[in-house]
Structure 1
Amino acid sequence: MIKPEFTDVVIKKSDTGFYQNYSVPIALGSKSIIIALALWALLWPESTNNLLGSIKWSLLENFNAFYIILFGLFSCFLIFIALVPSIGKRVMGLPGDKPEFSTFSWFSMMFGAGLGVGLMVFSTAEPLGLWASNPAILAQEVEANTAEALLPTYRYTFAHYGFHTWGVFVIVGLALAYCSYTRGMPLTLRSTLAPLIGKYANGVLGHIVDILGVVATILAVSTTIGFGVSQLIDGIYTITGIEWIMNISGDIPTPSNAGLIAGLALIMILSIVSAVSGVGRGVKYLSNLNLILSIFLLLIFVFFGSFFFAMTTYGTAFVDYILHYISLSFNAYLPMNESQYLDLIPESAKAFSSELFANSTNAWGSYQSFLSSLSDNAAALDESTLKQAYIAGNEGRQFAWQAGWTTFYWAWMVAYAPFVGLFLARISKGRTIREFILGCVIAPSLVCFAWMTILGATAIDLELSGVADGSIIDASNTNKLFITLGYLLEGEFLALVNIMCVILVLTFLITSADSGILVMNTIMSGGDQDAGIKHRIVWGAILTAVIGTLLLAAGDNNPMEALRNAMIIGALPFAMILGLMMIAMCKAMYVDSLLLKQEIKQEK
């Protein structure tokens, strides 16, 4: 006789006071960590930035293979359960439950709360960045910024915005929706581990899981808003020419701290207003507006951009992406040290081994940049020796690139997963597991691919043809989109489209922030989806403080650095929880299948 698993997850809440209907340990634990981080950044900004940077790179070096393989396993797991008929057709809910939202609203909310800000910021920046540096370029298979480099450029662009990224969101969303709507547990993170930890989900262990989820969400949303605010200020400057919002002292104009803080204040005020109105009103309407404006922007690139070039790129790149899917999922590089490098270079180069090692393992360096970075004595070595020295550093270059780019993305997506996953679960009650996986992995990935090729390939085509003459490449990441539009349009129409892009960035930012506030509120209230307007306001204020202090801690040169570093550090503990979550789902679905068979036998 197979017995049902433990599902009696109970989260003790306060009966009175400010935290009425909230879990005090979760609320105070998560707020204490986040407020301490904000105060540290405010009081000791330089030491905060330096220490966060040191810890971040250490984690990327030591957990690179862990992240790559973990995401590969997530992808395989989702493919398996979607294909198994008995699992795929299960409804995330009780018999007779129907979806709460229409397919259009469901998809628009998913899209806006998922990668909307990232797609605006990196639509041109990601392909152009990878066009200059990717594993194929580092291995000297193709030359940077050439037509031949286009295919590997989009292979890794698709990897960063495709099935792996949406898969990690769906792991969390599926586990939450299944445990909550099918098994009747609270819509909170600890419920997803109940198949493994049983009654311990009701104690300290459960509190830790929820607190880590809240902290990861805060840091992920902060990083996303940081990138988005920067693009918002770039757009406002393009339209208005207001100088105080920009730092124009360097070679490339970038948003000033004053501009970033002003933009942040605007976004967070509007986000709190939207969050107070709830999912069914503010978030839903803004998400629908996001999708409509996104389609309009896409059509502008279709009619005025390099559409045929983009679609050709889409087709060839998608086939290439599928052919390399297994290697993208599981091919993890290991760090390389100088002693390993020393064994691979010619004897005549060993006197300069430290210099050659540092430059040949630079993840952003082509062979030409390697040569140009050497001192006169090292550069005087014969060409054959220099080529061997560069080739010897290939493993180190590949590792540094993967750790600094792909693994950075995976850490960002892990930190984003409790936020997006819980939000996806919140809007997906009544849908089947197969529908959920296809709708939240395949469909948005294909849209992301189209977005990145239509916008990104247009920018690349402008550079390949010589029209842009390096101006898009040289622009800041958050300004590349506006520079590209400047080559496609002119006059009042260009001004109108720039205004539309600023509105689109703003609404994406508001959607991301208010969705994050609602999700954190849901976790703290033990799965209650309608509790606490005052707490939504408090979390909005805390989120604003964290972003503002970390932006200021990094200084004018790279204001996003401290945010990125904090996010990567906060993501690692939750990455381990995600692995356990996948195992717990395997067990839960297997046990439920056995129980169903047992019930059928008993009825007969």
Structure 2
Amino acid sequence: MKKVSTVFWVTLAIALFSVVWGAVAPSNLENITGKIQTYLSVHFGWYYLLIVTGFVIFCLYMIVSPYGKIKLGKKDDTPDYSYPTWFAMLFSAGMGIGLVFWGAAEPIYFFGTQPPTTEAGSAAAMKESMQFVYFHWGVHAWGIYAIVALVLAYFKFRRGAPALISSTLEPLFGDKMKGPWGKVVDVIAVFATIVGVATTLGFGAAQINGGLTYLTGLEQSFGLQLAIIGVVTVLFMISAYTGLSKGIKYLSNTNMVLALSLLVIMLIVGPTLLIMNMFTDTIGAYIQNLPSMSFRMAPGNEENRGWIQDWTVFYWAWWIAWSPFVGIFIARVSKGRTIREFLSGVLLVPSVVGFLWFSTFGSSAIELQDQGTADIAGLATEQALFGVFDNYPLGLTMSIIAMTLIGTFFITSADSATFVLGMQTTNGSLTPPTTVKFVWGLAQSSMAAVLLYTGGLQALQNALISAAFPFSFIMILMVVSLYKALRADRADIEKEY
């Protein structure tokens, strides 16, 4: 533990305080985080929509600008990973459990229970449901990740700066980032990461529990979810011990194989024609309506505005809370790629795969609901996917693959997060000590358990939006800092290229 920084001890103390608070006074923690979440959603929803759309616009500008040819590294640096492995790592770290958890649940909810603007169960709701799912999981989500990853990769691999969030702000604040203010920035980033990952681990534990309940009749309980978190914690610590190039690399590739297997089976046994028609039609609707969705706040319609606060604002906060972890991890595995290659890959490839995923599982769920074959909308969120499988051939096989996939995504996300948290609390070391990674592994698992104990999924969502808000300001500063650094380096860059 000799390599740890002040950030390690401060953030660990905050995390432990949160865990103890949740264990001793769960209702109090849920009440306070709920009030904070409500206040931020109501009063700052417009802010989330503006900044996230701004991040996407900045990414698109960087792709087409002359800066796009700049390499994230020295002129002769080459990528450490092949395209398939790189994409697998992006996908596993960036979405993971969320895709499996919401794959059927979100489209069916938007179709049959609470559509964004249309009548529930209508043909318009079918199309609109998928359009907004794409919006929540598409280029806006990956634009958030891409911003943090791009800024970190540029300063680390091109300028040789420490792999710390605070080091990316030195062009704006100079040596102040090496003192207390820099520590504050890194503490905010690390705590946002812990809460963001803990939230996802909580979703994963709830869905594994939901799958077991649906398939075997086991009781849905906090005790079983705690046992699931405990087993997975041991597994991801074993993976963390093996390092980045072994554990995470192999798990990421395994995730892609399992995910593609599940996707192909569902495409074949599900309503294939409907899936492909929905995919094609809603891709067009998504592209056509992207500008209006990006800025939609519905000021004259309280019901629609509440929907935006509950869903879109929640998702933007979720991605922002995850962005320190995912961004740092993506930066770490993207050395040697050009800015244009990097941003094009990060924005487009995972988004398109995600669209096909939601179209496949969402359309299959909607077909069952629309035809009256099964009431998927009436199932608990964590059981929706298994309810879909139960009504198609090879249902048991798909359920087993899905639970295995949730487990491997669970392990990969937690493993990647311990690596990133280790980096951020050991002064940016690219090889953080195993002991430090183990401490953060236990901290995020404990946080997940406490958040589930205090109020299940609602407490997870409350904590997420609260933790993301302060880091959003740091992200804005990171964009300004990168642009300032690029302009300052322009003369040297033009000589190089």
State the TM-score, normalizing by the size of structure 1. 0.80
Identity among equivalent pairs (%)? 34
Amino acid at match of 2:3: N
Q: Which amino acid aligns with 1:320?
A: A
Aligned to 1:397: 303
Q: What is the aligned partner in structure 2 of residue 309 from structure 1?
A: 274
Could you tell me which residue of structure 2 aligns to residue 53 of structure 1?
34
Secondary structure in structure 2 of the residue aligned to 1:135:
coil
Do the aligned residues in 1 keep the contact of 2:130 with 2:362 (CA within 8 Å)? no
Q: Given the alignment, which residue of 237, 244, 249 partners 2:213?
A: 237
Structure 2 partner of 1:210: 186
- The change in CA–CA distance for 1:182 and 1:239 in structure 2 (over 3 A counts) is same
Residues 465 and 532 (structure 1), Cα distance of their counterparts in 2 relative to 1, 3 Å cut: same
Q: Deviations over 1:165-223 (max 9, x none)?
A: 01000000000000100111011111221221111111111111111111000000011
Counterparts of residues 476-495 of structure 1 (less than 5 Å):
476-489=380-393, 493-495=394-396
Equivalent residue number for residue 258 of structure 1 = 223
Q: Can you list the C-alpha shifts for 1:332-366, whole angstroms capped at 9, x where unaligned? A: 345xxxxxxxxxxxxxxxxxxxxxxxxxxxxxxxx
What is aligned with 1:337? Answer: none
Shift of 1:330: 2.4
Q: Which amino acid aligns with 1:425?
A: A
| 1:43–1:314 distance in 2 versus 1, CA, 3 Å | same
1:406 to 302, 309, 312: 312
Q: Is the alpha carbon distance of 1:467 and 1:239 closer, same or farther for their aligned partners in structure 2, counting shifts above 3 Å?
A: closer
Give the Å deviation of 1:512: 0.6
Aligned to 1:114: 94
Q: 2:12 aligns with which of 31, 48, 59?
A: 31
Partner deviation per Cα, 1:420-473 (whole Å, 9 max, x = no partner): 0000001100011111111111110000000000111111011112222x2x11
Show the 5 A alignment for 1:191-590: 191-241=167-217, 243=218, 246=219, 255-334=220-299, 395-468=301-374, 470=375, 472-489=376-393, 493-554=394-455, 559-590=456-487
CA contact (8 A) 1:22 1:524 kept: yes
In structure 2, the residue matched to 1:101 is 81
| Contact 1:226–1:560 (8 Å) recurs in 2 | yes
Q: Deviations over 1:71-105 (max 9, x none)?
A: 11001100011011x21111100111011111111
**1:21 to 2:3 alignment:** yes
Structure 1 runs (4+) deviating above 6 angstroms are none
Distance across 1 between alignment mates of 2:157 and 2:355: 32
Query: Residue type of the partner of 2:483?
Result: C
CA distance in 2, matches of 1:511, 1:170: 19
Gap regions ≥5 residues in structure 1:
1-17, 138-142, 247-254, 335-393
The whole-number CA distance in structure 1 between the counterparts of 2:208 and 2:496 is 58
- Check the 8 A contact 1:64/1:333 in 2, yes or no: no
Q: Deviations over 1:303-348 (max 9, x none)?
A: 10012111111111111111111112223345xxxxxxxxxxxxxx
CA RMSD of aligned residues (A): 1.5
Contact 1:69 1:332 in 2 (8 A): no
> In the alignment, residue 529 of structure 1 is paired with which amino acid?
L
Give yes or no for contact 1:147–1:464 (8 Å, CA) kept in 2: no
Q: What SS is found at the alignment partner of 2:301?
A: helix
Q: Name 1:384's counterpart in structure 2.
A: none
In the aligned structure 2, how far is the partner of 1:539 from the partner of 1:117? 19
Q: Which amino acid aligns with 1:568?
A: I
Find out whether 1:124 has 2:67 as its counterpart.
Answer: no
Code of the residue aligned with 2:82 in structure 1: it is: S
Q: State the shift of 1:586 in Å.
A: 1.6
Structure 1 residue 600: deviation in Å? 8.2
User: Residue 72 of structure 2 aligns to a residue in which SS?
Assistant: coil
**Aligned residue number for residue 356 of structure 1:** none
For residue 417 of structure 1, what is the amino acid of its counterpart?
A: S
Contact 1:89/1:434, CA 8 A, preserved across alignment: yes
The DSSP-based 3-state class of the residue aligned with 2:430 is coil
Deviations 1:81-136 (A, max 9, x none): 1011x211111001110111111111111101110101000000111111132332
Query: Which amino acid in 1 is paired with 2:386?
Result: F
TM-aligned CA deviation for residue 595 of structure 1: 4.3
Partner letter of residue 484 of structure 1?
Answer: V
Partners of 1:65 and 1:333 within 8 A in 2: no
Q: Counterpart in 1 of 2:156?
A: 180
**Which of the pair has more CA radius of gyration?**
1
How many residues in Structure 1 have an aligned counterpart in Structure 2?
496
Q: Distance in 2 between matches of 1:51 and 1:234?
A: 28
Q: Distance in 1 between matches of 2:390 and 2:138?
A: 28
CA distance in 1, matches of 2:482, 2:271: 44
Tell me the secondary structure at the aligned position of residue 487 of structure 1.
Answer: coil
The answer to whether the 8 Å contact 2:248/2:412 transfers is yes
**AA matched with 1:522:** M
Give the Cα–Cα distance (whole angstroms) in 2 for the partners of residues 209 and 578 of structure 1.
Answer: 10
State the secondary structure of the residue aligned to 2:128.
helix
Shift of 1:498: 1.8
Q: Partners of 2:408 and 2:259 in 1: how far apart?
A: 11
The structure that is helix-richer by fraction is 2
Structure 2 residues without counterparts, runs of 5 or longer: none
Query: How high is the TM-score relative to the length of structure 2?
Result: 0.97
The CA distance in 2 between the partners of 1:148 and 1:239, in whole Å, is 33
In structure 2, distance between residues paired with 1:590 and 1:150: 47
Shift of 1:151: 1.9
- Could you tell me how far apart the structure 1 residues matched to 2:245 and 2:496 are? 39
